[in-house]
Chains A and B, each alone.
Chain A
Amino acid sequence: MLYMSLFVLVPLAAVVAKAVSSGAGTLWDSIDNTLAMRALLTTMVASLIVAGIGAVMGTLVAWVLVRDHFPGKRFVNALIDLPFALPTIVAGLTLIALYGPNSPVGIDLAYTRGAVIVALLFVTLPFVVRSVQPVLLELDHEVEEAAASLGASTATSFRRIVLPALRPAIFSGAALAFARSIGEFGSVALIAGKVQIASIVIFADIESGSEQAAAALSVVLMFLALIVLFILRRLGARVGH
Chain B
Amino acid sequence: MVISRRATLSLRAVALVYLSLLLLLPVAVVFGRTFEHGVGSAWSFMTTPAAVSALWLTILLAMIAVPLNTIFGVGAAMVLVRGKAPRAGKAILDALIDLPFVVSPVIIGLALILVYGQGGWFGDTFLANGIRIIYAVPGMVIATVFVSLPFVVREVAPVLAEVGDEQEQAAATLGASSWQTFWRVTLPSIRWGVAYGVVLTTARALGEIGAVLVVSSNVAGSTLTLPLLIFQRDEQVGGQVTTSVYAAATELAVLSIGVLLLMTMFGSRTQEAR
Q: Interface of A with B (CB < 8 Å)?
A: 1, 3-4, 7-12, 14-15, 17-18, 57, 60-61, 63-65, 67-68, 70, 76, 78-91, 93-101, 104, 110-111, 118, 121-122, 125, 141, 144-145, 147-148, 154, 157-158, 161-162, 179-180, 182-186, 189-190, 193, 198-199, 202-203, 206, 211, 214-215, 218, 221-222, 225-226, 228-229, 233
Contact = CB atoms under 8 A, between A and B. Distances in A.
Given A85-B259, A94-B27, A229-B95, A148 B1 contact: yes
Contacts of B22: 118, 121-122, 125
Given A84-B203, A87-B252, A90-B249, A104 B96 contact: no
Interface string B144-159: 0110010000000000
Nearest to B251: A90
A211 B24 contact: no
Nearest to B11: A64
A222 B108 CA distance: 10
B264 to A, nearest CB: 5
A212 to B, nearest CB: 10
Closest CB pairs A-B (n = 9): A87-B207, A183-B104, A11-B111, A94-B26, A185-B210, A14-B114, A85-B260, A225-B102, A186-B209
A89 B93 contact: no
A90 B207 contact: yes
A152 to B, nearest CB: 9
A191 to B, nearest CB: 9
B8 A185 contact: no
B104 A89 contact: no
A203 B106 contact: yes
Nearest to A78: B264
Nearest to B212: A186
Given A57-B18, A122-B22, A70 B12 contact: yes
A199 B104 contact: yes
A11 B114 contact: yes
B7 interface: yes
Contacts of A7: 142, 145-146, 149
Contact of A183 (B107, B200, B226, B246): B107
Contact of B110 (A81, A148, A206): A206
Contacts of B231: 89, 189-190
B219 interface: no
Contacts of A228: 102
B105 A183 contact: yes
Residue from B110, B234, B249 whose CB has the most chain A CB atoms within 10 Å: B110
Contacts of B105: 183, 185-186, 199
A65 B131 CA distance: 52
B107 A202 contact: yes
Contacts, number: 253
Contacts of B113: 206, 211
B253 A86 contact: yes
Interface string B4-15: 100110011011
Nearest to B34: A97
Q: Which of B95, B253, B257 counts the most A-chain CB atoms under 10 A from its CB?
A: B253
B187 interface: no
B24 A218 contact: no
A143 to B, nearest CB: 9
Interface in B236-272: 239-241, 245-246, 249, 252-253, 256-257, 259-260, 263-264, 267
A65 B96 CA distance: 34
B107 A218 contact: yes
A67 B11 CA distance: 11
B49 interface: no
A98 B25 contact: yes
30 contacts: A1-B93, A14-B121, A15-B107, A17-B114, A57-B18, A60-B15, A60-B18, A64-B12, A64-B16, A70-B12, A79-B23, A82-B260, A85-B256, A86-B207, A87-B206, A90-B252, A104-B29, A144-B1, A180-B101, A183-B103, A183-B106, A186-B210, A186-B227, A189-B231, A203-B106, A203-B210, A211-B110, A218-B110, A225-B102, A229-B95
